[in-house]
Structure 1
């Protein structure tokens, strides 16, 4: 039985719908369907090495599923974390690394996972080049610094001979210095606003909590100035004697706070 042709508008609508269906089918098509795990990995690495981290991450995720239970799947997980980190998805990178360490605690790459985890937090809040904007690193949020320290500490404790251990220990020292300087930064903030009792408390905390760090010199200087402002001459003189014994050539005693023009963190 012959059917009457559709009106133009109806025919156009049908063709448009068919085109949309075909378009959806092609857009949902998995181009990796016939690829081997090695090919997926090679493609993902090429994307990552080319800086296309947003394209690399889903490829690594596909590889995790295709090669589940194999060393290649573990490698894909680590590479995915690195791509997320480099792509600015730091929370996702940390989640990926936590999952890797939970699933593969005895993996030969566990040291790298810990190192990368520390690096993500380290660069998030303690980037080496922040001095360009004249922002003292110790003035930034401290949680990431502490999390970074814990990752590096676990790495250096569990894997003391790891190829990453020496760098991790160096970064730990840097973080301790930054945390100490943070306390001194707060103490100086209080001092400059006339809150001398609060300045004394934070300076004392820095001296008590952190030993043999560059920030101790400024902490002692803040104690001297704060005690003097409070009229506590005996404590001022005691702090000054400690300063003279520990830092006989102290730039703070000669130039005051101007001595901070060359902060320690520029030379890490």
Structure 2
């Protein structure tokens, strides 16, 4: 993934005249008393390091501006540039720290949406595979969804929505994996709870067809035929060409039943809430 950094215009480097002289016998100016380098000089040096893809060194240079010239416009610019540099260095914890600090100090700044996106991207890039705990996925989703709420027309909202789709699919995949685990062990109530989560919260993901079919299977096993018929009917209405629907139809009809939607069922209400 390529992130477009919001790079402020570089400024000419400050002059270097008046450098102190040194000798081997301890003469010269004490380094502790040297004046701070001008912020614009440090900023340009940070940009130069970015251009050489020396991301960590660039981040440190921008952080030096924040340290030596706090509460200035240069420090404000440098903070978000440090977050971007840390992101490119794949130091995701520092990316999140600096982006969050920028948002705390400058919540209304033009670069606030970008800082929020950097936080979300740093969480997103650490999403684990579906077999592991999905805490980072959930945190990424929270941060990315905030972009779409606060800055819905920004370019970062468009990029965030693409990541949100992937994150939601990942969470649904985790629920399906656990649901199948319960189903294979005939622990049907536990399986139903997982498949219900997918149908209720993640029905725009690619997992919803299977979730409905697994609900048919689970409810039929428990003898709750009304809910099984409803799940099959909703599956057929929304995905008539799905193999999952064909399998569910066969299972229901094998018991002399037909898919039939009960509009009072939670399954029917869940789909009306999204499509209605």
* TM-score normalised per structure 1: 0.70
Alpha carbons of structure 1 residues 50 and 251: separation in structure 2 relative to 1, 3 Å: farther
Shift of 1:77: 0.9
Is 1:164–2:166 an aligned residue pair?
A: no
> Measured at CA, do residues 206 and 65 of structure 1 come closer, stay the same or move farther in structure 2, by a change above 3 Å?
same
- How far apart in 1 are the matches of 2:148 and 2:223? 47
Deviation at 1:103, TM superposition (A): 0.9
**What residue number does 2:192 align with?**
200
Task: Write out per-residue CA displacement over residues 110-157 of structure 1, whole angstroms, 9 at most, x where no aligned residue.
Answer: 11111111111111117xxxxxxxxxx544432222222222222222
Deviations 1:29-72, CA, capped at 9 Å, x for gaps? 79x96743223222222323333223222211111123322222
Say if 1:78 and 1:100, in contact at 8 Å, map to a contact too.
yes
Taking structure 2 as the reference length, the TM-score comes to 0.68
Q: Give the stretch that moved more between structures: 243-252 or 107-116.
A: 243-252
Shift of the 140–79 alpha-carbon distance from structure 1 to 2, 3 Å rule, reads farther
1:164 is paired with a residue whose SS is: helix
Cα distance in 1 for partners of 2:244, 2:117 equals 37
CA contact (8 A) 1:203 1:222 kept: yes
Kindly indicate which of the two structures has a greater share of residues assigned to helix.
1
Q: Alignment partner of 1:125: what SS? A: coil
Measure, in 2, the Cα distance between the counterparts of 1:34 and 1:243.
Answer: 68
Q: Name stretches of at least 5 consecutive residues in structure 1 with no aligned partner.
A: 1-21, 23-28, 127-136, 257-268
Q: Which residue of 2 aligns with 1:77?
A: 79
Q: Which runs of 4+ in 1 moved over 6 A?
A: none
Unaligned 5+ segments in structure 2 are 1-23, 25-30, 249-276
State how 1:103-118 maps to structure 2 within 5 Å: 103-118=105-120
Provide the rounded CA distance (Å) in 2 between the counterparts of 1:244 and 1:159. 38
How far apart are residue 218 of structure 1 and its match? Answer: 0.9
* Distance in 1 (alpha carbons) for counterparts of 2:203 and 2:223: 28
Count matched residues.
219
